[in-house]
Amino acid sequence: MLLDQLAQLFAPGLDPVSFQTRAALLLRRATECPVVTFARLERATGRLEVDFDPLIPGLAAALPGFGRHMGEHECFNFDPTVNRGRPFLRGDFLSDAEFHASPIYREGFAVVGITDHAALLLHADEQLVFFIGLERLGGVFREADREALEVLQPHLINAYRIARDLASLEEAVAEPAVFVRAGLSARQAEVLSLLARGKSNAEIGALLSLRLSTVKSYVEAVFDKLGVDNRHAALLRAHQLSRQTSAPGGESGRLSTQASPRARV
């Protein structure tokens, strides 16, 4: 069952938007959690952007309350070192009574009927911290939920990185000259650019007016020059070559607020 679900996560068509849809479905199945959030904190500005799957009434009113009080609690502070980067439950830090008495609950979670929270770290660097949150609309998270999140976290991180890199690569390879500068011929660069967009050999042949056998020869030559032996490795190598000109894909359907995280030293 898990292998089938992971196959759906990594299926063709993975990009930043489909990643969130697939990740939310995977996490809901694993934890029976109705709401999954994808929250990004810009460290320099304190801007907090959150995508909700699905949207529930009252979120626009609740999010500012969360932003005001998140710095008061270790489990809501977007610190990637919390629990050494491993998934955690709200109950690891606050008892039920403490949580229900807190301003972040009264002004944030309770406004939309969220009764408990769990989270796993997806990405952290000097600019951005990205957590996936799981929100219960009744009841609390249990140890079984934590165990499920620990199993899924490395797969979700890997899928996120692939989705991000694919989106970046699609922007970066719009101009095959990127690959010409890396030592490929003009035609080889065109073939690699189309490979990076997921085109089959037959589609490349049609687009470039080449016979299928000729396309296969170009693909083999590209692999040889890149020092790889398959399409996935060629795509990753192409991304490395074009990283300097890459740009992340866009996303939509998010709410934002000004966050007040605790100062980090």
Question: What pLDDT does 250 receive?
Answer: 32
Token pair in block for residue 217? 């020869």
Q: How much is the pTM?
A: 0.70
Dihedral over alpha carbons 119, 124, 130, 134 (to 10 degrees): -10
Task: Write down the domain spans for the chain.
Answer: 2-163+250-258, 169-245
> Which pLDDT does position 244 carry in this prediction?
44
**Phi-psi label, residue 205: left if phi above 0, alpha if psi -120 to 50, beta otherwise:** alpha
**What's the confidence (pLDDT) of residue 198?**
75
pLDDT of 92-103, one tens digit each?
Answer: 999 999 999 999
Domain 169-245 has CATH 1.10.287.110: no
Which ranges of the chain have pLDDT less than 70? 168-175, 242-254, 261-265
Structure confidence at residue 246 (pLDDT): 41
From residue 21, give the alpha-carbon distance in Å to each of 15, 16, 60, 215.
10, 9, 21, 35
Per-residue confidence (pLDDT) for residue 136, from 0 to 100: 97
Q: Residue 253: its pLDDT value, please?
A: 44
CA distance 8 to 5: 5
The CATH homologous superfamily of the domain defined by 2-163+250-258: GAF domain (3.30.450.40)
